[in-house]
Amino acid sequence: MLQAVQFRGTAIQIAAALTATWAGAAAQSQPAEGYPTAEQVRERLYAAAEARPDLCVAVDLTAKYGTPPTHQGRHLYAIKVSANPGLDEDEPAVLFVAAHHGDEIASVLTALHGIDVLTEAYGTDADITRLLDTREVWIAPLWNPDGYESGRRLNGRHNGNGTIGVDLNRNYQSGWGTCGGSDTPGRATYSGPEPASEPETRTMVAWAADKRFVIVHDAHAGGYDVRTGYGCDVGHPWDAFFRWQTGEIIEATGLEMRARNSCCLARNIHHHIRTNLSNAFLWELGGKSGDSEAVREQAEQVWRGVVRSFARPISLSGHTIDATTGEPVASTISILEAGFTLGETGSGGGAFGRFDLVLPPGTHRIEFTAPGYSAWAISVMITPGSAETREIRMVRDAQGAAAPVGDPQIVVKPPDGRSVSTLGPISGVVGRGDGE
């Protein structure tokens, strides 16, 4: 049952409003007391970058990726928090994004608080120092500025029938139109006219393809739980592993939150899970617009869980590079015989051909493909603490020729770099489409 509830900014205490609410119908003026305007959110990012140039860089993502501004003409922004933030370092990228739903404003404060948590603890807290030394942490505190400014869940699209707004968290391609969203403009879960129709969605798709976030946290408010996996009874083969991580995250927060499965598809987390093999989690942070001080207090605990997750071992990292030139190669990564049903793949790429995978414990057969190169597959045995590095040296494929055999090409390098072993190339038998 959906229940429309009118929220006043300071009236709702955290954890007091567990009822799912749909404020698309309950417009209010913004900002609520203690909350910044969309413009002030942007200013906070640039102010943080100015205050801590050693740790922060603010980025106009709309400009960077050339994606359309929001329907009301706004850009989307993020801040990178990492040592040497001005350099594109060879590090895994992780993401915290908030407020795909514009009225779930507690998520915005929670995201902004994360910047303070990370920058203030760097150099004194060992875990956070290591995190910022070894990862690119990206925080995007306001993904739906149009909705935020008008106190609405949906974005600013004029649907043409007198209604406004698309549910940005039902607009991604992964499972779009199958379940959990509405095809009726004006409904609180309207999925949009087509997959990724919205400027905000397109910006995230471009950003995700560029950064290939290995861990994603997507903040909402309303319920009080951490969700993962696919919804609508579409199982993900890694559900048990995702749920195990969810438990670990909640435990680190010390909050009485529940671990749950996602309840629909075409969400932001599903996009990252499906297109990058990311491990992605959705937070429901209690009351949508709780007392700002209480939200900040809770955020302190939330970020313990987020940091725990961001800092977890990356099971398998490495680079896909040209075996002859050493140049980075943009590759597609498939986990063979994994039981995926939505065409899930990961990728290597960027300035270093980097890839990062957090994999469930067990043995995985992983295939790397790239146009013009022979396919390669490796087998890896993963434990919960695995942090292996493998360099994948892609061999150019002479047109029409079979993949070369017999010549060891895949260098296996443990993280300590001491020993080096090699695996032979795979034959053409193991190819895409042979698995599920």
Binding site for Zn ion (CB under 5 A): 101, 104, 220
Helix, strand and coil in the chain, % to nearest 5: 25, 25, 50
Neighbour-count burial for 296-319, b at 16+ CB within 10 Å, e otherwise: bebbeebbbbbbbbbbbebbbbbb
| Residue number of the CB atom closest to Zn ion | 220
Which of residues 101 and 211 has its CB atom nearest to Zn ion in the complex?
101
CB 349 within 8 A of CB 369: no
Angle, CA 357 vertex, CA 354 and CA 360 arms, to 5°: 165
Contacts of 39 (CB under 8 A, 6+ apart): none
Please state the closest distance from residue 17 (CB atom) to Zn ion, in A: 13
Please state the closest distance from residue 181 (CB atom) to Zn ion, in A: 13
Which of residues 236 and 267 has its CB atom nearest to Zn ion in the complex?
267
CB 181 within 8 A of CB 170: yes
Q: Which two tokens stand for residue 197?
A: 């129709």
Which of residues 155 and 369 has its CB atom nearest to Zn ion in the complex?
155
Q: Which residue, chain included where needed, has tokens 């072993």?
A: 421
Please state the closest distance from residue 264 (CB atom) to Zn ion, in A: 11
What are the helix and strand counts (H, E) for the chain?
9, 17
Which of residues 170 and 220 has its CB atom nearest to Zn ion in the complex?
220
Please state the closest distance from residue 7 (CB atom) to Zn ion, in A: 13
Please state the closest distance from residue 154 (CB atom) to Zn ion, in A: 11
Separation of alpha carbons 80 and 251, rounded Å: 26
Which of residues 149 and 367 has its CB atom nearest to Zn ion in the complex?
149
Strand duo 215-220 + 279-285: pairing: parallel
Which of residues 11 and 20 has its CB atom nearest to Zn ion in the complex?
20
CB 302 within 8 A of CB 374: no
Separation of alpha carbons 74 and 76, rounded Å: 7
Strand duo 354-357 + 316-322: pairing: antiparallel
Please state the closest distance from residue 20 (CB atom) to Zn ion, in A: 9
Please state the closest distance from residue 284 (CB atom) to Zn ion, in A: 7
Please state the closest distance from residue 19 (CB atom) to Zn ion, in A: 13
3-state secondary structure of 23: helix
Handedness of CA 148, 270, 193, 22 (dihedral sign): negative
CB 213 within 8 A of CB 95: yes
Please state the closest distance from residue 98 (CB atom) to Zn ion, in A: 10
Please state the closest distance from residue 169 (CB atom) to Zn ion, in A: 6
Q: Which residue, chain included where needed, has tokens 């514009």?
A: 102
Which of residues 57 and 269 has its CB atom nearest to Zn ion in the complex?
269
Which of residues 271 and 393 has its CB atom nearest to Zn ion in the complex?
271
* Cis check: omega of the bond before 31, within 30 degrees of 0: yes
Which of residues 218 and 344 has its CB atom nearest to Zn ion in the complex?
218
Rg (CA), the chain: 22
Which of residues 21 and 345 has its CB atom nearest to Zn ion in the complex?
21
Q: Which two tokens stand for residue 234?
A: 């579409």
DSSP classification of residue 225? E
Please state the closest distance from residue 97 (CB atom) to Zn ion, in A: 11
Q: Which two tokens stand for residue 20?
A: 């799912």
Separation of alpha carbons 105 and 72, rounded Å: 19
Which of residues 295 and 382 has its CB atom nearest to Zn ion in the complex?
295
